[in-house]
């Protein structure tokens, strides 16, 4: 069962935006000094924004691991999405179940995707999954931003895809292909921060691009903090710490429970 989108907060926010902005200012200053030691006021060239180095991360530490569905991420709508479906459409892959008696064929899926302008660029049948992935890598590593999969395939995919997919946080996201709203489901995920909850108390979430302005980054950070606190069992009572960091920077605290 897929995780629902995070609900809007129905409580007084515990977030001090001054702490968020203070941490962002320090991180961006550190980033600029690393890019140009001779002149720390000169901004970093953000040509690497499609790599993991071009993002801001939120580290959440909970008091207790939440007992929730771990097969799908919590989706938290972002004021400023990380994926631009209009100007820079990403590579998105859909894995379909071609072994089930009530299967949706690849041809049917492709026709629907084209007719409804669903932002899926590749459709792979689960029976050909390993071969197709090897083929894509051999052709130059066509990099898919996200993988989606028919919901009933979720239990078997970890074994088929292997540990590398989990390490790269490319595990497919469940989609209900029996519903007519494929486009809505895909777009909602693309416009959200994805919170993968593990068995421990600590999770790292990609929340913003370094190419965004500080105000936009801060708005994304606050939205994700509110979304996490509003989605997990125990709400804010189960949140211990929030930190912000860049890929290679120290993690700076922006919230600590009293």
The CATH number assigned to the domain holding 105 equals 3.40.50.790
- Within-domain flag for 2: no
Domain end position, chosen among 168, 190, 212: 190
Q: What is the pLDDT of residue 83?
A: 94
My answer on whether 199 and 250 are in the same domain is: yes
Compute the distance between CA of residue 141 and CA of residue 201 in angstroms, rounded to an integer: 33
Average pLDDT, the chain: 86
Residue 183, domain extent: 92-190
Domain end position, chosen among 140, 167, 190: 190
Phi and psi at 75, nearest 5°, equal: -105, 125
- Within-domain flag for 1: no
Of 81, 62, 126, 110, which Cα lies nearest the Cα of 216? 81
Of 83, 130, 92, 124, which Cα lies nearest the Cα of 105? 124
pLDDT in tens, 188-245: 999 999 998 878 899 999 999 999 999 999 999 999 999 999 999 899 999 999 999 9
If phi over 0 gives left and psi between -120 and 50 gives alpha, with beta otherwise, what is residue 135? alpha
Compute the distance between CA of residue 208 and CA of residue 231 in angstroms, rounded to an integer: 20
pLDDT in tens, 118-129: 999 999 999 999
CA atoms within 13 A on the CB side of 52: 9
For the chain, give the percent of residues with pLDDT over 90: 61
Place of tokens 């105000």: 215
Instruction: Report the alpha-carbon angle 76-78-83, nearest 5.
Output: 105
Q: What is the pLDDT of residue 44?
A: 38
Instruction: Give the predicted TM-score (pTM) of the model.
Output: 0.84
Domain end position, chosen among 175, 190, 205: 190
Compute the distance between CA of residue 141 and CA of residue 69 in angstroms, rounded to an integer: 31
pLDDT in tens, 6-53: 555 444 578 999 999 999 999 999 999 987 755 444 333 333 334 466
């Amino acid at each position: 069962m897929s995780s629902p989108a995070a609900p809007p907060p129905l409580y007084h926010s515990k977030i001090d935006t001054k702490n968020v902005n203070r941490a962002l200012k320090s991180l961006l200053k550190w980033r600029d000094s690393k890019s140009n030691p001779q002149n720390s006021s000169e901004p970093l060239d953000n040509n690497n924004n499609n790599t993991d180095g071009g993002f801001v991360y939120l580290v959440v530490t909970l008091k207790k691991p939440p007992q929730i569905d771990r097969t799908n991420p919590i989706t938290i709508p972002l004021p400023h999405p990380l994926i631009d479906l209009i100007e820079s459409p990403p590579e998105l892959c859909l894995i379909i179940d071609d072994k089930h008696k009530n299967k949706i064929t690849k041809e049917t899926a492709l026709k629907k995707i084209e007719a409804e302008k669903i932002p899926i660029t590749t459709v792979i049948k689960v029976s050909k999954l390993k071969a197709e992935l090897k083929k894509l890598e051999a052709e130059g590593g066509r990099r898919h931003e996200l993988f989606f999969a028919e919901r009933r395939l979720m239990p078997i995919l970890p074994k088929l895809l292997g540990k590398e997919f989990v390490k790269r946080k490319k595990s497919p996201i469940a989609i209900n292909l029996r519903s007519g709203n494929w486009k809505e489901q895909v777009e909602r995920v693309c416009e959200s921060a994805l919170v993968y909850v593990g068995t421990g108390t600590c999770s790292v979430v990609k929340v913003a691009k370094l190419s965004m302005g500080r105000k936009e980054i801060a708005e994304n950070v606050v939205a994700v903090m509110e979304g996490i606190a509003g989605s997990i069992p125990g709400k804010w009572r189960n949140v211990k710490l929030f930190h912000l960091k860049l890929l290679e920077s120290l993690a700076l605290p922006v919230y600590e429970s009293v």
